[in-house]
Each structure stands twice: as structure tokens, then as C-alpha cells.
Structure 1
Amino acid sequence: MKFAVLVFPGSNCDIDCYKAVEEAVQEPVDYVWHTATDLSAYDCILVPGGFSYGDYLRCGAISRFAPVMNEVAKAAEEGKYILGICNGFQILTEANLLPGALLRNTSMKFRCHDTVLKVVNNQTPFTNDFELNEEIVIPIAHGEGNYYCDEETLKQLQQNNQIVFTYKDNPNGSLADIAGISNVRGNVVGMMPHPERAVSELLGSADGKRMFTSILKAWRDTHGTASVR
């Protein structure tokens, strides 16, 4: 399996994602610049956190038009795994690969601390190593993490089991305590918390590691290869 970590001007969690793949699954991983026009070599694309293009206009609003995002959309259509983290989640909503939007935290403050998440859907390629309703510790670091969508969209998210994670103690005002969602197909997930910063107990939690082992496990199951140890 091969991972791509996208890099936009202003990305600051790309190295974290790269190191998390190395630590969690020891699979090949490349940095891919935002001008790339071919992602066909990759099975999973990580859209990292940071402040792409300085968050000018609106978080993710400029990155959404980067050439590589056309390829991300194609990869999503092909069923490849796409994970957007923090600013990556914002980019995926701006690109209409996920519904809704991320607004300013209701506190109007940047929040940076551990959060407890509830695994609401463990049937995605990103969460199959978790137990349903399991509580996990994953850090956040954002100023615009307040997830919002209209009533009809929320109803669809709930009916289609697209809400993947919720906060135990909502840190940003997100609608229905939403911390992460998927597309209908389940191969695209966006989340504000940072699993790549929780792959070792030395970092305070290793709960994020299972997101990466889940991805590898799903890919191996699809390709008929040996399961993750």
C-alpha cells in the first residue's frame, strides 16, 4: 500500500502525517506538492492540517482550487481512501467532497488540547480497528473547528451513518458534537482532531495509531493480502 501526504503552502502537519504512517504501518509514503496532476500511484491520500495559503479568504478556500484537488476528487470517485485532518477537513468541505462547513469556534479562541472522542461508526476503512462507541483520546489544534450544516444535511448524515466521531465535551460548538464525518460511500473522512499526533504513548496517546492500521487493514482486505499484525 502506498500513502500520499499532500503539501500546500502553509501546511504544518505534513511531517506529522508522514511520520505517523512510518510509525503506525511502515508502508511507503511520499510528500506530494499541491501542483501535482497525478495521484494514480497512491492508495490513500492524507490532506494534512496547517494553515494552507495562510487561511486567507476562508480556511481551505484557496487550496480547494489547487491542481492536486482535481486528482483527489478522481481518487475519491475511484474508491481510494482520503483522510482530511483539521485544515484538510476544511479543504474537503470547500471542495464539496464532504458536506457542511467549519466555522469559528464559539469561544472565538484557538483551542489546543486533548479531547475525548466517541467512535460513532467503526465500519469505515478508517475506524475498523476501533470498537463501536469506544472513547479515544485525540488532540485538537484549531480556531475554526465548529462543524455546521443545515437540518436536512444533518438528517442525511445521521440516516447514512456518516457521523464517524463525536466529542464527549464539545470544545468548539460543533453541531451535534460532530468531530468527524464521512461521505456516503465511506472512503472519504474528514475530522478536526489530529490522529497523527496520537500514535505513541510518548505523545500522550496512541489511540490515533489505529486509524492508520485500520486503513491498511481495509486495503489488505480489499486486495486479498495478509492482515495487519
Structure 2
Amino acid sequence: MTVSIVRFGGSNCDRDAERALEHLGIDAEIVWHEDGLPAETSGIVLPGGFSYGDYLRAGAMAARSPILAEVREAAADGVPVLGICNGAQVGCESGLTEGAFTTNESARFQCEPVHLRVERADTPWTAAYEEGDVIEVPIAHGEGRYEIGDDRLAALEADDRILFRYCDADGAVDGDANPNGSKAAVAGLLGERETVAVLMPHPERATLPDVGPTDGQGILRGFESAVGKL
């Protein structure tokens, strides 16, 4: 399989994603957004960074790039798509997933390790974990607070589309463990298909054993699991 990592002006985690995937033995290629998706694309990463300087809203301008129409079409065909940090913002802005990410409750850029509780273990992105597992991955964002209307949040929860919630080391979800004030402590969620996911934390920064914890490996392994379901 070949995972296409879409680079926009201002992306800065594309190389991190490429290196992490290749460390796991998954072929990855950085693709400039104006060039479109290669024909051999069997997975897509929308990486972190500050596409177009986060002007208007984080992810808003990148979401209007023509390549996103290709990404949405690929997602509808079952191609796995993972949006990370800025890529999660792009995912919401482009309609791949519901809700929006906005300014942190602290109104500050935050870069720190956080704990996530696995809410579902029956998706490609969480197949490496058990439901209720707690993993540690870093965040690095200024606009990571997830917001959505109460009715739509209830629908997401009823459809079991919440993947991860911020928690403490013991798995408890409370205000102190929610670093950015996200509604219902949501850190990651699914699109209409379980092969589409977005999350604010950075699994690619928790993959290489020579630089720190490796709890993020299982999320990136989701590409292998998702392709197996095509």
C-alpha cells in the first residue's frame, strides 16, 4: 500500500508522518496538494502544521483546495483517511467529520504529552488497543478545542463515533485532564465511515522508539487494518 501525505503551504508535520509510517514498514509519499492524489494512493494523511498560516480559521483555506474533493471521493470509496492536528481541522472544515476545532480554552499554544482513553477498539485506528486503554501521545496546537452542538454530539455518541477522549493516567475524564477544553473531552472521532478519522494529538510523534514513547504506533497501523477491509 502507498499512503499519500498531503502537503499544503504551511504543513510542517508531513515529514514526521512519512518517517513514522516508513518506520512501521508502510510505504508513504509526500504529495503537494496542487498535484492531486497519485493513482496508487491506498491511504491518505492530512498532516499537522499551520496550513496557510491558519488565516480565517485553522484548516479553512486548505479545506478548499481542489485536492480535498479527491480526498472526499477516495474516503467514500473506503480509502483510509487520517487527519492529524491541522489535518483534523482540515477534516472538519471539509466535511469529512463533524464539529470544529477552535481556540484552546487557555488561549495559548500548548505542546505537552497527554493521556487518551480508547473509546472504541473495533475500528482500524484502535484495533491495536482494548476499549478503555489509556495511551500517551503529545499535543501541539493553539486551536485544538473541539466544539459541536449538543444535539449533534448526542448523535455522534449514539453512533459510537468518538474514538478518543482526553483523560488522566488512570482513565478518568474530568476538567483537569482536558488540556484544551474540548467538549466532552473529545480528542478524536470518526467520519461517516470508520476508515475516516481525525484527532488532535500527534501519533506520529509517539512512534519512533529512539525519540520517546511509542503508544501512537497502533493508530498509524490503522492504515494496514483499514486497507484489509477494502
Normalising by structure 2, what TM-score? 0.93
Q: Distance in 1 between matches of 2:20 and 2:148?
A: 31
What CA distance in whole angstroms lies between the structure 2 residues aligned with 1:8 and 1:137?
28
Aligned-partner SS, 1:203: coil
Partners of 1:127 and 1:64 lie apart in 2 by 26
Task: Report the 3-state secondary structure (helix = DSSP H, G, I; strand = E; otherwise coil) of the residue aligned with 1:201.
Answer: coil
RMSD: 1.2
Q: Which moved more, 1:35-44 or 1:109-118?
A: 35-44
* Map of 1:115 onto structure 2: 114
Written as runs of structure 1 = structure 2, the 5 A alignment for 1:31-42 is 31-42=30-41
1:61-111 deviations in Å (ceiling 9; x for gaps): 110111211110101110110000000000011101110011100011111
CA distance in 1, matches of 2:164, 2:22: 24
What amino acid is the match of 2:26? E
- Other-structure match for 1:201: 209
**In the TM superposition, what is the alpha-carbon distance from 1:40 to its structure 2 partner?**
3.7
CA contact (8 A) 2:79 2:227 kept: no
Tell me the distance in 2 between the aligned counterparts of 1:114 and 1:150. 28
Stretches of structure 1 that go unaligned for 5 or more consecutive residues are 224-229
Q: What is the rounded CA distance, in whole Å, between the counterparts of 1:64 and 1:172 in structure 2?
A: 23
Give the whole-Å Cα distance in 1 for the aligned partners of 2:59 and 2:33.
13
Q: Which residue of 2 aligns with 1:176?
A: 184
Stretches of structure 2 that go unaligned for 5 or more consecutive residues are 168-176
Q: Which SS does the other structure have where 1:108 is aligned?
A: coil
Alignment correspondent of 2:11 = 11
* TM norm structure 1: 0.93
Structure 1 position 48 matched with structure 2 position 43: no
Query: Which residue of the partner structure matches residue 63 of structure 1?
Result: 62
Identify which of 189, 202, 220 aligns with 1:212.
220
Query: Is the CA contact 1:7–1:31 (under 8 Å) kept in the aligned structure 2?
Result: yes
Deviation at 1:188, TM superposition (A): 0.9
State the percentage of identical aligned residues: 40
2 CA distance for matches of 1:172 and 1:160? Answer: 24
**3-state SS, counterpart of residue 184 of structure 1:** coil
Q: CA deviation at 1:39?
A: 4.3
Aligned to 1:227: none
More moved, 146-155 vs 209-218: 209-218
